[in-house]
Amino acid sequence: MSFLPISREDMKKRGWDELDVIFVSGDAYIDHPSFGIPLLARWLEFHGFRVGIIPQPDWHSKDAFMTLGAPRLFFAVSAGAMDSMVAHYTPARKLRHDDAYTPGNRHGARPNRATIVYSSRLREAFRHVPIVIGGIEASLRRFAHYDFWEDKVRRSIIFDAKADLLIYGMGETPMLELATRLRNGEAFTSLTDIRGTAFISNAIPGDGPVSEIPAFSGVNAEPAKFNEAFRLISLEQNPFCGKKLCQKHDNRYLICNPPALPLSEEVMDLVYALPFMKAPHPSYKETIPAYEQIRASITTHRGCFGGCAFCAITHHQGKAIQSRSEASILQEITKLSSLRWFKGSISDIGGPTANMYGLRCGNPSAEASCRRESCLYPVPCRNLYMSDKRAAALLAKIRKLEGIKHTVVSSGIRYDLLAFQKSYFTELLRYHVGGLLKVAPEHVSKKVTDLMRKPGSGAFEKFLASFREESSCAGKKQYVIPYFISGHPGSTMSDMVDLALFLKRNGLKVEQVQDFTPSPGTLSTCIYHTGIDPFTGNAVYVAKSDKEKRLQKSLLLSHVAEERKNVIQALQACNRESASGELFGGRDDLAFRQKNMKRKKIET
């Protein structure tokens, strides 16, 4: 085994003077299935294509993009594992100073709007070579979309990148079909029927049903049109029944084919059995944080049917859970345990939501026409197969493997599912929690959790009670690490006070709070932009000022001394000073009263 070529010298070692496909990535080259570009590159290599990678090229000139020459078929461009704007800026639009996908954790190895910049440089260097864009940045920006960093609606990224084709979703199927058909002699311009792709056309296609959504000019000018477009797009995301979509941009059209079909278990096994080196390219001399985090982890499945309004996973990986076989997973762990650096501890066994492994729709005919975006909200779908036998058995077998000392599930857990997964819950808490279990209730206000498409505080309280009882029965001291979002559409300052009080009453503390980031393509971002829920038509309160967002975040950190001043301001802003006694207690409350003697008396 060897790494894929990243230089002419690497090509010569393989006896290659030309490549079929060259991937350009905003991430460092880590040959591991957790990273999209290496996975797709290995997938094409497995099917007989000559593939190379240009990782994190210097975009200031075209020279770095000419390292491997011109590919015979096309360039495949991705900003990396994250949208480049999300990677570069905080929710307060301040520049980040780190990048987990870069050696040394250094910021600045990729440009803003990397997909567009890379494509521009490639066009400058190789004018007539086709460019295919993909990855999460292109995937979630494939339609006209709201861009938080410019605070405006931008057109589809394929127009700004001047690309020939856009692949959305995970990409194995459309990428392989594209490369194969080109190798077989078909013209690039004729490949307009590949699932999971989008392209530019001068007219609306006449081959099959097409749903036309409001044009860019409309969604750019009218919030109601933006909401209508979002609603229509959402209706066509089922790969089994979704129609082709088109959206006019000036005098041309974006044409988006239906999503690619989910991968079968056999194909999932094949993908994860590819000859990955499971390491960063040896040319890197510094550690890469993203690799350190996942190098001892195992991916069991992909997809998520939770349908959370703020999350991009469903939009990118799909709602259908695509699970690997037990044999495939155990084989990968056996190989992992043979690596010199492996010490016997698996850092994670899971996927986007760990306890969705092996779950599926139990009614194929219903699945073929389903329009629900969430199988769990507002109540679990009656067709959802929720048996935990497969997942519980897998965890039990993994911990008994020779050479495995510890196994931890550190992926997020959907705690409302655990009510239907007693065996998995018991196995998890007794053997696979390293003292701390991550869950994401996100909020406790019903109106906010409804907008988020998450269960409310009642479900979380029931989970906490079950978690503590089960941990006690196991004779273990274990704790929940809850994740919450501040500043989400619908959340007022008073709602955040209620959340802070909930934490206090339940003996919970959070060390990190996610301030809501309106990332492209999600329902929450749509509401943030328009102030209206596109499915109900109801107006929604949205916190947009930097000050309010900062104060909302501080309320969740009321136990941190450095945040006390901000918490006081937040309580005053919503006339909830009376909550200070419970939040601070004792001396802290006395200090609060002394600072505010001129204000009304605070009852403690």
Annotated binding-site residue? 381? no
The one-character DSSP state at 127 is: T
308 labelled as ligand-binding?
Answer: yes
Q: In whole angstroms, what is the distance from residue 468 CA to residue 392 CA? A: 20
Cα 24 to Cα 176: distance, rounded to the nearest angstrom: 17
Beta bridge partners of 299: 350
With a cut of 80, say whether residue 512 has pLDDT above it. Answer: no
Q: Say how far apart CA 263 and CA 172 lie, in whole Å.
A: 9
Of 4-18, 202-216, 524-538, least confident by mean pLDDT is 202-216
Say if residues 299 and 322 touch (Cβ distance below 8 Å).
no
Taking only the tens place, the pLDDT of each residue in 233-272 is 999 999 999 999 999 999 999 999 999 999 999 999 999 9
Report the C-alpha gap between 394 and 329 in whole angstroms: 9
For CA atoms 579, 584, 588, 590, the dihedral sign is: positive
Q: Is 556 helix (H, G, I), strand (E, B) or coil?
A: coil
Average pLDDT over every residue of 27-56: 98
> Is the per-residue pLDDT at 82 higher than 80?
yes
Distance CA 346, CA 496 (A): 36
**DSSP symbol at 32:** S
Whole-Å CA distances, 364 to 169, 263, 302, 370, 385: 22, 15, 19, 10, 11
Tens of pLDDT, residue by residue over 106-141, are 999 999 999 999 999 999 999 999 999 999 999 999
Q: At what angle do helices 493-505 and 546-555 cross, to 10 degrees?
A: 10
Is 1 exposed, middle or buried, given 0-12, 13-18 or 19+ CB atoms closer than 10 A? exposed
Q: Is the pLDDT of residue 598 over 60?
A: no
Task: Go through the chain and tell me how many residues it has.
Answer: 604
- Per-residue model confidence (pLDDT) at position 115: 98
Q: How does pLDDT run across 447-476, given as a tens digit for each residue?
A: 999 999 999 899 999 999 999 999 999 999
Cα gap 375→361, rounded to integer Å: 9
- DSSP states of 360-401: EES-HHHHTT---S-SSSSS--TTEE---HHHHHHHHHHHTS
Partnered with residue 11 across adjacent β-strands are none
Alpha-carbon distance of 415 to 13, in angstroms, equals: 51
Share of the chain above pLDDT 90, in %: 91
d(CA 552, CA 497): 8
pTM comes to 0.94
What average pLDDT does the chain have? 94
Give span(s): CATH 3.40.50, the chain.
8-198
Which pair of tokens denotes residue 567? 């918490």
- DSSP symbols for 36-62: HHHHHHHHHHHTT--EEEEES--TTSS
- Residue 262 corresponds to which tokens in the numbers above? 């989910």
What pLDDT shows up at residue 603? 34
The pLDDT of residue 602:
36
326-337 helix and 265-272 helix, angle to the nearest 10 degrees = 10
Neighbouring-strand partners of residue 436: 479
| pLDDT in the model for residue 604 | 33
> How far is 370 from 350, CA to CA, in rounded Å?
26
Report residue 290's pLDDT band, with 50, 70 and 90 as the boundaries.
very high
In eight-state DSSP terms, residue 8 is H
353: pLDDT strictly greater than 50: yes
Q: Find the mean pLDDT for residues 85-93.
A: 94
Does 262 sit behind a cis peptide bond, omega within 30 degrees of 0 on the bond before it?
no
Query: What are 516's two structure tokens?
Result: 């809501």
pLDDT at residue 249, rounded to an integer? 98
Q: What is the pLDDT of residue 591?
A: 41
Element (H, E) at 10: helix 8-13
272 neighbors 332 (Cβ within 8 angstroms): yes
Give the pLDDT score at 74.
98
Half-sphere exposure of 310 (CA within 13 A, CB side): 23
* DSSP state letter for 486: E
Query: Residue 399: exposed, middle, or buried by beta-carbon count in 10 A (0-12, 13-18, 19+)?
Result: middle
Containing 265, the helix (H) or strand (E) segment is helix 265-272
User: Is residue 120 within 8 Å of 159, Cβ to Cβ?
Assistant: no
Could you tell me which of 449, 459, 438, 457 has the C-alpha nearest to residue 524? 449
Please give the pLDDT value at position 509. 87
Compute the distance between CA of residue 59 and CA of residue 82 in angstroms, rounded to an integer: 18
Examine the pLDDT at 589 and tell me if it is beyond 50.
Answer: no
β-pairing, 131-134 with 145-147?
unpaired
Task: Determine how β-strand 436-442 pairs with β-strand 479-486.
Answer: parallel
Q: Would you say residue 491 has pLDDT above 60?
A: yes
User: Is pLDDT of 440 > 60?
Assistant: yes
Contact 407, 349 (CB under 8 A): yes
The predicted model gives 77-103 an average pLDDT of 95
Average pLDDT over residues 206-211: 87
User: Residue range 174-183: average pLDDT?
Assistant: 98
Q: Where are the beta strands (DSSP E) in 239-307?
A: 244-249, 252-256, 279-280, 297-299, 301-302
User: How high is the pLDDT of residue 586?
Assistant: 43
Please determine, for residue 229, whether its predicted confidence score (pLDDT) is greater than 50.
Answer: yes
Q: Above 70 in pLDDT, residue 599? A: no
Which residue(s) pair with 75 in the sheet? 22, 131
Query: In the CATH hierarchy, which fold is given to the domain comprising 8-198?
Result: Rossmann fold (3.40.50)
pLDDT of residue 596: 47
**Both tokens assigned to 16:** 């290659």
Q: How many CB atoms lie within 10 A of CB 9?
A: 8
Residue 311 marked in a binding site: yes
1: pLDDT strictly greater than 80: no
Who contacts 387 (Cβ-Cβ below 8 Å, separation ≥6)?
A: 358, 359
* Half-sphere exposure of residue 313: CA atoms within 13 angstroms, side-chain side: 17
Q: Tell me the residue type at 249.
A: H
Q: Are the C-beta atoms of residues 288 and 62 closer than 8 Å to each other? A: no
Cα distance between residue 164 and residue 456, in whole Å: 45
C-alpha span between 528 and 114 (Å, rounded): 24
Q: What are 496-511's pLDDT values in tens digits?
A: 999 999 999 998 988 7
For 297-319, give the DSSP string: EEE-EE------TT-SHHHHH-S
